[in-house]
Structure 1
């Protein structure tokens, strides 16, 4: 299905300064919510408690009751009904990781928010509360806040939300997402069109040989040796089977074989992922299969490849990206009343994956990235996403919230605005 086209806005919208003031007034409470979510995380599919905490935090500013979605998620809408809305997604789930951040509000169990989802949720709550308190006549566009479950684990929460008729009933015209990013310097927000996150598919390789005594290798057909050659071979695919101007990644992260050091086993297995940003996803998987099957035969073994499809690539809508980039670029000066304080980047993309891609299959969508690496440090050298020591500082809640508010205003202007929104958004030159 081809998503509808989002109109492009040539000039960035001007936002009522009262909205910025309302947002700043909500940040302390949003940080407190971030601490509560971080201290008591929930894994994919078990986010009900986190959802309820979020709904409690926004209950007093909602005109309409929240809607449950995707089992343990929720949607809340602000602004007039019956007109196109801008949806903003934030993820509720944590990862099955034991945290080592040493934070005062650190999680103590076997789950942790080490991907920044707690920051995303708290920032979106701040935006919802600011818009709710400012009043419907100041809302830049109707906002549909989607607190989504199961980003980290299949079945995809995003796919379920995108397919839900209740989501469609809100006449969503554009979907925004945001992710903190340690590969970017602090104070940077990245917006660009086209592929920005890769597709991701899981693979399992199983090699079958002939077992036997380690002292008589000629009587065996060693699946361990065959698997070692396969692992080396699949990692060469990107350098020799993929256009060097197109990004793709093959990673084998698990290998398992044998029961004793002097026994050649019957089988050996490996698991990994195959990612394609702008490389051809199907061609990449076909090349992996060729290497797996033919290398095994060269060692007198047989091999099977099982592919578990995961997420498609995140592809940002080009027109929406240009519109939002103009708005964010116009607000990078700290002496403006509506300044985000963030410097615009239009180059970043990565081979990380995100189920946000499912929204882009049906609607114009845009993923923003906000940098977390502090001044004086090199992006990528500190703990990264999913690392037990990764945790953005609390000020990131405000940075993400400001980026979201500017993006919502720009996306709303691109959708044409509403009678209620014209009091807050114009498309004339910024002062």
Structure 2
């Protein structure tokens, strides 16, 4: 069956590349992806009725009843004006597929149609996920919806383009592979006044400046050096006039970690530090934390079985890629065994760049990684007796 699937996938790739161009030309922002969803559903041409979920998402079964394997594709684009110069560049001003989601969707369609044509050991659930780039998370909505339980989903596979990897390389890493991601905003309030009389004010801008410096010591002096973590301040605002001490200052940023203990410690120390620094300047601080994606943990059995599938295709498998980047695919991994693969591309640009445009060959590379993940999951989910008989 494996040989027939690879041959069927090869036949689907030309149409998938055309679909990629179509999706790239007409991107939609997070929460507005209904046209993209319907376009992908039409391209899949499944025999079963899709479940509409998470407002603009869908889950559709391919290949009959029974326990199934899920394959995720992200529907949304980014609020970026494209500057690639291609004839199939985005026609929607200020919206662009700058993270490879058009490639992922096209590859998913190719794999889905191949499985629909020749079958597989398990049915496939094509999970068309909205809102990967924003909160609230589309993956979290789908994972908590119950549709994956109703459809007897046994494992989830995700694949993402990664320009930091060489072309021809796929990262298949067991355990924690992406960090948790939380966002914070700290509002410091003081007493405004004339800048010529600073002694009559309580300056929140000065307090915020000290806070930004103090926060840099949290990771270096509070977090275990063997633990990975980021506490990054990315926004600072206060005041409008040169001769006025403002009444309010705001600081915002991100918290990243690879384990739950470090994540909680970062949140706690952030709040404590903000409170102490503000009070030392006669101000008050309110810390607001938006809890985002959890740590993305790849299932070791899925990683091992998929690595074997990839190597059998002559693909170089990397075990070295871990990062504090985040992906809401992690919500699926909290509910059921899951595996996120990263596929190298020749694109010299970085993700979320207005000139990021992976070559069409990336559709093939992502589709092959997806099918390898599917076949690896089929192998990992088979009863041990079935696996031993095949090896005899």
Query: TM-score range with shorter-chain normalisation?
Result: over 0.9
Please give the secondary structure, in 1, of the residue aligned with 2:158.
strand
Counterpart residue number, 1:112:
96
Q: CA deviation at 1:427?
A: 4.8
Matching of residue 156 in structure 1 with residue 122 in structure 2: no
Matching of residue 326 in structure 1 with residue 322 in structure 2: no
Matching of residue 254 in structure 1 with residue 244 in structure 2: no
Please give the secondary structure, in 2, of the residue aligned with 1:351.
coil
User: What pairs up with 1:291-370 in 2 under 5 angstroms?
Assistant: 291-332=273-314, 342-370=315-343
Matching of residue 45 in structure 1 with residue 8 in structure 2: no
Q: Deviations over 1:33-80 (max 9, x none)?
A: 111111111111111000011011121xx2322222222112222223
Instruction: Indicate if the aligned counterparts of 2:73 and 2:127 stay in contact, CA closer than 8 A.
Output: yes
Counterpart residue number, 2:380:
414
Counterpart residue number, 1:125:
109
Higher mean C-alpha deviation, range 235-244 or range 116-125: 235-244
Distance in 2, Cα, partners of 1:20 & 1:397:
14
Q: CA deviation at 1:26?
A: 1.2
Higher mean C-alpha deviation, range 293-302 or range 259-268: 293-302
Distance in 1, Cα, partners of 2:189 & 2:109:
52
Q: 1:193 to 1:16 in 2, by over 3 A?
A: closer
Instruction: Indicate if the aligned counterparts of 1:140 and 1:408 stay in contact, CA closer than 8 A.
Output: no
Matching of residue 396 in structure 1 with residue 362 in structure 2: yes
Q: 1:234 to 1:400 in 2, by over 3 A?
A: same
Q: CA deviation at 1:258?
A: 0.6
TM-score normalised over the length of structure 2: 0.94
Q: 2:344 aligns with which of 371, 376, 399?
A: 371
Distance in 2, Cα, partners of 1:234 & 1:427:
57
Please give the secondary structure, in 2, of the residue aligned with 1:33.
helix
Matching of residue 95 in structure 1 with residue 78 in structure 2: yes
Counterpart residue number, 2:60:
76
TM-score normalised over the length of structure 1: 0.86
Runs of 4+ in structure 1 over 3 Å off: 426-429
Instruction: Indicate if the aligned counterparts of 1:41 and 1:111 stay in contact, CA closer than 8 A.
Output: yes
Distance in 1, Cα, partners of 2:336 & 2:53:
18
Q: CA deviation at 1:155?
A: 1.8
Instruction: Indicate if the aligned counterparts of 1:183 and 1:373 stay in contact, CA closer than 8 A.
Output: no
Distance in 1, Cα, partners of 2:382 & 2:312:
20
Q: CA deviation at 1:203?
A: 0.4
| Contiguous gaps of at least 5 residues in structure 1 | 1-14, 333-341, 375-381
Q: Deviations over 1:128-152 (max 9, x none)?
A: 1112222x3xx24211111111111
Q: Deviations over 1:199-237 (max 9, x none)?
A: 111101111112122223232222111111111221221
**More helix per residue: 1 or 2?**
2
Instruction: Indicate if the aligned counterparts of 1:413 and 1:427 stay in contact, CA closer than 8 A.
Output: no
Instruction: Indicate if the aligned counterparts of 2:160 and 2:340 stay in contact, CA closer than 8 A.
Output: yes
Distance in 2, Cα, partners of 1:263 & 1:69:
51
Q: 2:68 aligns with which of 66, 74, 85?
A: 85
Q: Deviations over 1:88-118 (max 9, x none)?
A: 1110011112222222221141211111111
Instruction: Indicate if the aligned counterparts of 1:38 and 1:107 stay in contact, CA closer than 8 A.
Output: yes
| Contiguous gaps of at least 5 residues in structure 2 | none
Please give the secondary structure, in 2, of the residue aligned with 1:206.
strand
Please give the secondary structure, in 2, of the residue aligned with 1:280.
helix
Q: CA deviation at 1:260?
A: 0.9
Please give the secondary structure, in 1, of the residue aligned with 2:135.
coil
Q: CA deviation at 1:180?
A: 0.7
Distance in 1, Cα, partners of 2:144 & 2:185:
29
Q: 2:175 aligns with which of 189, 194, 201?
A: 194
Instruction: Indicate if the aligned counterparts of 1:141 and 1:413 stay in contact, CA closer than 8 A.
Output: no
Q: Deviations over 1:387-419 (max 9, x none)?
A: 2222211110100000111110110121117xx
Instruction: Indicate if the aligned counterparts of 1:127 and 1:405 stay in contact, CA closer than 8 A.
Output: yes
Count of aligned pairs between the two proteins: 388
Q: 1:105 to 1:30 in 2, by over 3 A?
A: same
The two structures, once aligned, show a CA RMSD in angstroms of 2.0
Distance in 1, Cα, partners of 2:47 & 2:379:
22
